Every structure is written in C-alpha cells, then in structure tokens.
Amino acid sequence: MKELIAKAKELLMNKEVDLLIGYQSAGEKKAKPLLIKNPDDADKLVFNEYCLSNLVTYLNRPDIKALSKVAVVAKGCDIRAIVVLLSENQLVREKIFIIGMTCDHVMSPDGTEENIKCSYCKVRNPHLADVVIGAPIDERISKETVVRHEDIEEFNKKTKEEKWNFWKEELSQCIRCYACRQVCPLCYCERCIVDFNNPQWIDTRSNPRGNFAWNIVRALHLSGRCIDCGECERVCPANIPLMLLNRSLQEEAKDKFDWEAGFDPEAQPPLTTFRKEDDEEFIR
Amino acid sequence: MARIGVFVCWCGSNIAETVNVSKASEISGNIPGVVYSVDYKYMCSDPGQTLLKNAIKEHNLTGAVVASCSPRMHEKTFRKAAKDAGMNPYMLEMANIREQCSWVHDNKDEGTDKTIDLIRMMVEKVKRNHPLEDIKIPVTKKALVIGGGVAGIQAALDIAAGGVPVVLVERESSIGGKMAALDETFPTLDCSQCILTPKMVEVSQDPLIEIMSFSEIEKVEGYVGNFKATIRKKARYVDTDLCTGCGTCWLKCPVKVTSEFEQGLGKRKAIYIPFPQAIPSRPRIDPENCLKLTKDRCGICQKVCPTKAINYDDVDRLVEVEVGAIVVTTGYKIMPVSEFPEYGGGRYKDVVTALQFERMVCASGPTLGELQRPSDGKLPETVVFVKCVGSRDPEHHHSYCSKICCMYVAKQTMLYRHKVHNGNCYVFYIDVRSNGKNYEEFVRRAQEKEGAQYIRGRVSQVYKDGEDLVVEGADTLTNSQVKIKCDLVVLATAMEAPDGIKELAQKLGISYDQNGFLTEAHPKLKPIESSTAGVFLAGCALSPRDIPDSVSEASGAAAKVLGLLSKDEMHKDGVVAFVNEATCVACQNCIRVCPFVAIQLKDICNRKGEVLRQVADVNPGLCVGCGTCTPSCPSRSIELKGFTDAELFAEINALAEL
C-alpha cells in the first residue's frame, strides 16, 4: 500500500499524470473507485482483495480521454481490458500510465469467498504495466491451459428446451437499467445499438422480446472480446448470471479460433478478421 | 408525400399461372402511398417499359415497385426506364414474385397473398428510399495480361491494336507457353512454332506492349479501372538491357541440367534460354545449378560476356504498375506419368506424356525430330496411345474431360506414321470427341488413311516383357481382352490447373472451382468475365481448351478490356457504404472485415487543425456495396446506401406486422 501511495504521489506531484484512478475504502470489506488529481488525496488509496471494480471502464469516458495522461490502478484481469481497448483503437498507450498490481485473488462480491474468476486467472502478475507494485505471485495455471468452466459444462447438459426456459426465466427479470453496459470496460460505443432509434431494432421496454434482444446482442458484441472481469454480473440488480453467457462465448472463441482476448495488443481479433488461407471456401 | 406506382408483371404464364396478378395489382392499389397500380403481360417488353415510363410522368410518381422477376434479371432494365422518365433510378425497387413466389409455389391463393406481401414490403422500402447518384471514377488506360502463352499473347496484341498499352507478365523466362513446345497442330498439321513465333516477335516489337518475363504477380490492389499491381521481377542474374542475346554465355557454361522445356528429355545449361526462339531472347541463370551461385566457382559466363550483362548479385525486384483492366491467361499443366504407376509411369522410361512425345518428334526437339525412344534410342516400331488418363476418371483423378486429347492423339498418330511409315500405332479410347471445324474429318483421316488402329476400351496395365512393353486392356467392341507388345506408350494425361493459380486467384479476388480452374461470372452469358469487375479470363485458366478456343477467348477478353477502357470515366452503382461520423467510435471492425480495403480511418479536426478523434471513412470508388461492414459495426454507424437500416426495417416490418 505504501508503495502504491508513494508512486501515486510522485506521479501527481511531478504532473506526470493529470488524473489517477484507484480504489478507496468503502467500509469494512468494501472498496470503491477513487479519482484523484491532488497528490494529497493519494493517502486515501487502498488495494486489497475487495477491490473488485474494473477501473479501466473510466478510461473510455470522453472527459478522461481528453486529459493528456491518466494513471490507472489495474489488476492483471483489468489490464486485459486495456489490451482489448488498445487493439480496438480506443486508447493511446502513451496517454495512460498503468500501475499494475500483483494480485492473488479478490473476493466474491458478497465478501465471503474467493471470486470464482480468480480460480482460472492467468495474469496474477500484470502482463502490461508501466510499474508493477506488489511481490510476484505464483501463477496457478499456465497461459497455455485451456480453461473449462464447470458451470458451463453443467449448463450444456441441459436440453435445448431447458436452456430456453432457463434464459426466459432469468432474462424476464432484467429491468433494462443497462448497468451491465455502463460498467463494462468494453462497451464504449458512444451510441449503443439499443439507443439507435431509426429504426428501433431493439425494443427498449422491459419485456421478453426486448430483454432477449438486448442481452443476446450484448453477449454477441462481447464474443471474442470479453476479458472475464465479471463486472456486469456483479452490478446486475436482477442477479442475472450474465457471465454464463459471456464465458460460453469465450470458450467458443478458444475452441474455434484458439483465441483469448486481452493478452496481446498486436493480435487481430478473430471475429473481425479473415484470412485468405481460411479453411472455409466461401471466404475466398 | 410518396406517390408510388406498382407494376405487376405476368411474365406470360410464368407468374400469372400461380398468382392472381389482377387481384394483386388491385389490392396493391390500396396500400397507403400507392397512387397507381397495374398488371401487364410482360413488363420487360418495350410496351411494358413504356407503360412504366408513361405512368411515372402522368401520375408524377416519386417511386415505383415492379413486381416481376429477380432484380438480377431486370433491375437494370427498369431502373434505366425510370431514369429515362425522369425518376431517380434508385427510387425503383423490384419485388421478386417469380423466383421467390410463382416458381416455388403451386397454390394460386397463397401465391397471390404472398405476392401482395412482397409488394407491400417493397412499397414500404421505396417510401424510405433516397435518391442516389452513380459514382464516377477515372479509368487508367492500361491493361495487365497475366500469362504469356498463346492466349496471353493474343490478348496483349489485340489490346495494343486498340491503342491501349499492355503489360504482359510471364512466370517463365520466355513467353510462348505450352504451344511453343508443340510440334504440329491439329487439324491442319501446321508447325506450331512457325505460327506462334511470328506472334511472339510481334509482341516484342509492339511499342505498346511491355513484356515482364520471369516475373510473377505479388499483390493486386484497387478495383475496376484503377488496379495497382505489384509485380515481382525475379532475379535473373542477367541484365536484360545490356544483354544482346549473343549466346556466348550458354555456349561456354559447363553445367548441364535437365531441360524443363524439353519435358525432361533434353539438357540445358545453367545459364540458358529455354528454346532458341525465346522472347525475350535473354538468358537467365538457374541459381540452383549455377556453380558460381552455389559454390562460388566458375564465373565463366561473366568472363565471356561481351557486354558485362552478368550480375551474380542480382535480387528480386518489385515494380508497381497501374492498370485499368486485367486479363488472366495462366494456362494449364499436364499430369506427369508418375501419377500412373499402373501404366508403368515413372517406372519405365518408354512410358511418356503426350507433351514429351511432341518434343520427341519435333524438328527442334532434343533429337532434332529423329524419333527415338527414351530408354535406348531405338526407333519405336509399335506405339500405343492411351487416352483419358486421369481425365473422365472421377474415382481416381479428375471427372472432367481434358477436351484436347482426342484431337492431339489423332494428330500424334499421324506424326508417328509420317516418321515411321510401316509403324503400328494403336489408340485406346473411351469416346472420340471431335466437335470442331474439320475435327471429325481429321480423326477419320487418322483412322482411315493414316493407319491408326483405334481400340475402344480402357487399359488395365502396362508391364515389361523383356525389352518390350506390354499394354493390356479391354476391347469393348469385340468384348475381348487385348495385349499389345510395343516399344513406346504415350499417355494422354489430364490437363490440370497450373501451380499457384489459387494464390493468384486470391490476390485478384476471383473465384475458382474444385479443380482449381478459374470460374467465369456466368457459364453462358459471361464466359470470359470473372466475378470481379475488370478482371477477364481466357484460355485454359478456365478449363481445358484447344488453341482456337483459347485464341478467340483472348480476343474476346481484349474486346472487353478495350470496351471498358474506351471511356474516360466509369459510372459505378451508387450503392456504397457510408459512415455516421457522429456515432462512429473508430473501433476498426469495418476496416478489418472489408475485403476491398475500401475503408480507412479519418481524423476529425477542430478549426485549429487539432485532431479531436478518428472515424471510419469509406472510399466510394473502392466500395462495391457488398455490405460486409454493416453487420460488423456494434453501434450501427456504418450503413449501405439503398439498403439502410431504416429501409430494411420498414420492409421487414411491413411483413411482420401482418
């Protein structure tokens, strides 16, 4: 913590960055975002296993983009979002200062157990950072490991009809607050498809048709891109298991294209590239 | 207010039999916005088009829906008629009630209902259509011909004759292609080289034709009228400008290598021209066999060259040419005998391909026309020709017919008998296909006057009995097995798509079939157009063809090129993608998916010229309106003119609301 505060002060004091985004305490076993410009405020900074928020999402804000340089406190999982944003031309690497935090795990949102996403984390040590804070941590799984999610395997045992009924039930609870979109670091469109009203492709009312359309479109827009931060599911007031959708699409991307998002900013995402040597004839 | 006219076509009985056209027209008249509706027997006929034109003028129509066949068939016709009547052509849409309705249904009531739905959909779309303008693009008046065989030569000559400069690219070190290796040609028995070499010389002397030999296509960018081709001029190690083709180098070169041009039957040097009439008559060094380049020894050619043209440090060079049109005449290759071990191919030297036989009898061949069998140089007294080797054999090789074998085998039997008057020659055949001018007469002459003995049936095996080869096969006309002892077996092996054709097709953005032959845009009506505008095809690149077919296609392709390049600017369909710059976030999805490289990033600057942000930007000249970009955009910020979301949504909604 001391190291983090010292670095933050140094960055702000020397005017190396205009803004620093980190975490502050929000009571026992809780943390919340902290956006500071004054070096004196750096003392409020904390970093612990309750720092769940993916702060990268702030980097998409137009007022923050307009600043000349911004520092962000980021865990390996958060940095994967930065990598995707870099590859999608949304961030300028020189304009962000990544304070990478080594991180063994964070807790589940209710603070009772280790967050499920940490069990298959491959980036306990930041893979892209300007400074790394914290002692190196042993990775539990190697980069090459193909992660299989038990909940998805279990879910896939259901029949088509059972799956349909499951999602009908779950999505019927969506209140269309769009918290999932707002918190997602990769939902950066200035005008979301759901706000496109000429024509209104997606019904904006909270009804089964609109809820299905919205949640499925969002999942598809994240396919091959989602970096598994789990923020959408965490903030969902209706407790919809959104990561079940997102993770199964991640597995598809891994199986079909040997692709995991958020590791290499130079790599071309599979769903928007075509190779002339593709197996499929139609592409030529 | 929209004032839309609906025109329901009967297409004779094609539509009228399954659709109550008068009812469809009557009900269409009640769709809000429709001010005029009519049905007519043939909308595409002259009176039909006049009906459309008059209605546009009389009823002051703002839009029109023609319910008839597929837009692929007549959209152009009707849009042109609408334009003539003073309406923006893109305000006319077609409802396909033939291919998508009458032809696939038989219940007249349901067919009529569906027709009305289809019309309703298009009326709703037309209401939201915007007038579009054609896009004008400048044209580069220069052509690229890829492949310097007889087809490429003919295409280059004809294009140049029309006053358009041509770049002729040939992979080998000389133009001439396969035809240069042939002895005599059917059905007239004129000497192949005697008729080809004057054309080769003509190419080399034409000031409008630039030959790039020993060169290959590296990359092709751009679009019809405006291609930019990058050509790899492979290292030749000889400066073709300094070289005079005197021949001292290849006379003195100590390395002898098997000659590709002689089909492996003769030798060449490590510095060589493939054949004496080569154009350009400039040698190249074969770096795999040259002693200087492999072991840094020798260097004789450099020493003896009087013009100092030898450069051992030569490297590949890339040159860019800008052209308006491309003709692909990449020819073919033939299957080697080694693919047919059952016929002794690869095992017995005296089992040869037909192309090898050409070299064996050719006056300029390795034996100067003296027929000798490869194994021991003996004059073959009995020769067996086997046709359909690898062709018409879907179980093992190719299902297609190689087309020319029937004719050249007849020719080769004559060439053989002209050399060996008492020789025996047998031909195993499945059918004799001789459907060309004077072709049937030619085969009859081989059979009846020149002593070729035709046996209808397939050969099962070829084996050796002492010095002799034995061909065993069926004679299906006498229903018996035959064994023929012979000295030489000639296999008429299948013609195949040449190496590298798929890669080239991908560079050009044109399609090819399962055999690797290039695909024409339409098998009957666009036989020499490719699927990409401005790229034309001729000769064996398409499928097996003989010389007259290849040459006439090449002339056809040249006519297409000249037609295309005769205008100063081209008009292109106004259906192109456009970007909503207010909402684009420059994620580059559209840029990555665009197969035509038509989208780039553009800076949005403030008044001081500072870059505020970037957005995608479509080059309408490059865009072909394929629509690949539109679904890739997560925020619906790129759309296709003429197919905007609002237009398509209205179309779908018209159906869904009912």
Check whether the bond before A185 is cis (ω within 30° of 0). no
Taking CB atoms and an 8 Å cutoff, what residues of chain B touch A272?
A: 588-589, 592-593, 632
- Per-residue exposure over B248-276, b if at least 16 CB sit within 10 Å of its own CB, e if not: ebbeebebeeebebbbbbbebbbbbbbbe
Chain A contact probe: residue of B588, B590, B632 with most A CBs at under 10 A: B588
Between chains, do A268 and B636 touch, taking CB under 8 Å as contact? no
pLDDT in tens, B44-72: 999 999 999 999 999 999 999 999 999 98
pLDDT in tens, B333-392: 999 999 999 999 999 999 999 999 999 999 999 999 999 999 999 999 999 999 999 999
CA distance A58 to B127: 43
User: Which residue in this structure is represented by tokens 């063809």?
Assistant: B545
Q: At what angle do helices B108-128 and B645-656 cross, to 10 degrees?
A: 150
Question: Is the per-residue pLDDT at B216 higher than 70?
Answer: yes
Q: What share of chain A is helix, strand, coil (3-state, %, to 5)?
A: 40, 10, 50
Between chains, do A189 and B614 touch, taking CB under 8 Å as contact? no
A132 at the B interface (CB within 8 A)?
A: no
Give A278's pLDDT tier (boundaries 50, 70, 90): low
Closest CA to B473 of B389, B348, B347: B389
CA distance A41 to A19: 11
Mean of the per-residue pLDDT values for chain B? 95
Question: Is the per-residue pLDDT at A284 higher than 50?
Answer: no
Question: Is the per-residue pLDDT at B41 higher than 70?
Answer: yes
- % pLDDT > 70, chain A: 96
User: Which residue in this structure is represented by tokens 């909402």?
Assistant: B583
Taking CB atoms and an 8 Å cutoff, what residues of chain A touch B646?
A: 198-199
pLDDT in tens, B108-136: 999 999 999 999 999 999 999 999 999 88
Chain A contact probe: residue of B508, B518, B581, B592 with most A CBs at under 10 A: B592
Q: How much is the average pLDDT of B409-421?
A: 96
Q: How much is the average pLDDT of B434-438?
A: 94
Reading the block at residue B35, the tokens are 């001010």
Q: Are A180 and A232 in contact (CB under 8 A)?
A: yes
Q: Which helix (DSSP H) or strand (DSSP E) does residue B124 occupy? A: helix B108-128
pLDDT in tens, A116-136: 889 889 999 999 999 999 999
* Burial zone of B477 (CB within 10 Å; 0-12 exposed, 13-18 middle, 19+ buried): exposed
Q: Considering only the beta carbons, identify the residue of A190, A276, A284 that sits closest to B585.
A: A190
Report CA-CA distances (Å) from A152 to A231, A243, A244.
18, 10, 7
Q: Which helix (DSSP H) or strand (DSSP E) does residue A208 occupy? A: helix A208-222
A196 at the B interface (CB within 8 A)?
A: yes
**DSSP 8-state symbol, A49:** T
CA distance B144 to B229: 8
Question: Is the per-residue pLDDT at B13 higher than 80?
Answer: yes
CA distance B126 to B79: 13
Closest CA to B36 of B2, B7, B77, B75: B7
Closest CA to B247 of B324, B168, B305: B305
Q: Are B637 and B654 in contact (CB under 8 A)?
A: no
Q: Given this model, what pLDDT does residue B500 score?
A: 95
CA distance A275 to A270: 9
**DSSP 8-state symbol, B549:** H
Taking CB atoms and an 8 Å cutoff, what residues of chain B touch A201?
A: 636, 645, 649
Query: B interface toward A at CB cutoff 8 Å?
Result: 505-506, 511-512, 582-583, 585-589, 592-593, 595, 601, 614, 632, 634-637, 645-646, 649-650, 653
Give phi and psi for B284, each to the nearest 5.
-135, 160
Q: Given this model, what pLDDT does residue A256 score?
A: 85
pLDDT in tens, B587-626: 999 999 888 788 999 999 999 998 888 999 999 888 889 9
Q: How much is the average pLDDT of B460-465?
A: 95
Q: Given this model, what pLDDT does residue A267 score?
A: 87
CA angle B534, B540, B546 (to 5 degrees): 125
Beta bridge mates, B223: B226
Half-sphere exposure for B592 (CA within 13 Å, toward CB): 19
Q: Given this model, what pLDDT does residue B187 score?
A: 95
Q: How much is the average pLDDT of B145-163?
A: 98
Reading the block at residue B493, the tokens are 């092996």
CA angle B573, B575, B581 (to 5 degrees): 135
Chain A contact probe: residue of B502, B507, B587, B657 with most A CBs at under 10 A: B587
Give phi and psi for A66, each to the nearest 5.
-70, -20
Chain A contact probe: residue of B585, B604, B644 with most A CBs at under 10 A: B585
Chain B contact probe: residue of A61, A88, A197, A225 with most B CBs at under 10 A: A88
Report CA-CA distances (Å) from B194 to B174, B179, B185, B311.
16, 11, 10, 34
Query: Rg (Cα) of chain B, in Å, rounded?
Result: 31
Q: Are B193 and B277 in contact (CB under 8 A)?
A: yes
Complete DSSP assignment for B214-261: SEEEEEEEEETTEEEEEEEE---SB-TTT-----HHHHH---EEE-TT
Q: Given this model, what pLDDT does residue B200 score?
A: 97
Q: How far is B514 from chain A (nearest CA, A)?
A: 10
Closest CA to B15 of B35, B42, B34, B33: B42
pLDDT in tens, A156-173: 999 999 999 999 999 999
Task: Please give the single-letter amino acid code of residue B102.
Answer: S
Q: Are B239 and B233 in contact (CB under 8 A)?
A: no
Query: CB within 8 A of B552, min separation 6: which ones?
Result: none
pLDDT in tens, B531-580: 888 999 999 999 999 999 999 999 999 999 999 999 999 888 899 999 99
Question: Is the per-residue pLDDT at B508 higher than 80?
Answer: yes
Half-sphere exposure for B405 (CA within 13 Å, toward CB): 28
Q: Given this model, what pLDDT does residue A281 score?
A: 59
pTM given for the model: 0.70
Closest chain B residue by Cα to residue A90: B587
Q: Are B177 and B155 in contact (CB under 8 A)?
A: no
Domains of chain B: 4-133 (3.40.50), 143-177+188-329+512-565 (3.50.50.60), 333-496 (3.50.50.60), 577-640 (3.30.70.3270)
Cα of B412 vs its chain's centroid, Å = 29
User: Which residue in this structure is represented by tokens 């003996």?
Assistant: B378
Q: Considering only the beta carbons, identify the residue of A192, A221, A272 that sits closest to B592.
A: A272
Where along chain A do its domains lie?
2-133, 150-272
Between chains, do A273 and B592 touch, taking CB under 8 Å as contact? yes
Query: CB within 8 A of A157, min separation 6: which ones?
Result: none
Beta bridge mates, B352: B490
B375 three-class SS: coil
pLDDT in tens, A62-82: 999 999 999 999 999 999 999
What's the N-to-C CA distance of chain B in angstroms?
Answer: 23
**Secondary structure E strands in B354-458:** 382-389, 424-429, 452-456
Question: Is the per-residue pLDDT at A190 higher than 80?
Answer: yes
Taking CB atoms and an 8 Å cutoff, what residues of chain A touch B649?
A: 199, 201
Q: Considering only the beta carbons, identify the residue of A88, A193, A196 that sits closest to B587.
A: A88
Beta bridge mates, B453: B426
Q: Where are the alpha helices (H) located in B430-522, listed in sequence order?
A: 439-448, 501-508
Q: Are B583 and B635 in contact (CB under 8 A)?
A: yes
Q: Considering only the beta carbons, identify the residue of A89, A190, A199 that sits closest to B646.
A: A199
**DSSP 8-state symbol, B359:** H
- % pLDDT > 90, chain B: 93
Task: Please give the single-letter amino acid code of residue B656.
Answer: A
Q: How much is the average pLDDT of B232-256?
A: 96
Output the CA torsion sign for B371, B331, B499, B342.
negative
Beta bridge mates, B181: none
Give B658's pLDDT tier (boundaries 50, 70, 90): very low
Between chains, do A189 and B505 touch, taking CB under 8 Å as contact? no
pLDDT in tens, B299-331: 999 999 999 999 999 999 999 999 999 999 999
Question: Is the per-residue pLDDT at A283 higher than 60?
Answer: no
**Low-confidence winner among A64-73, A274-283, B424-433 (lowest mean pLDDT):** A274-283
Beta bridge mates, B456: B429
Between chains, do A272 and B632 touch, taking CB under 8 Å as contact? yes
Q: Given this model, what pLDDT does residue A221 score?
A: 94
Q: How much is the average pLDDT of B433-461?
A: 95
A182 at the B interface (CB within 8 A)?
A: no
Closest CA to A53 of A189, A232, A208, A188: A232
CA distance B349 to B365: 17
Closest CA to B240 of B197, B272, B283: B283
Give phi and psi for A70, each to the nearest 5.
-130, 135
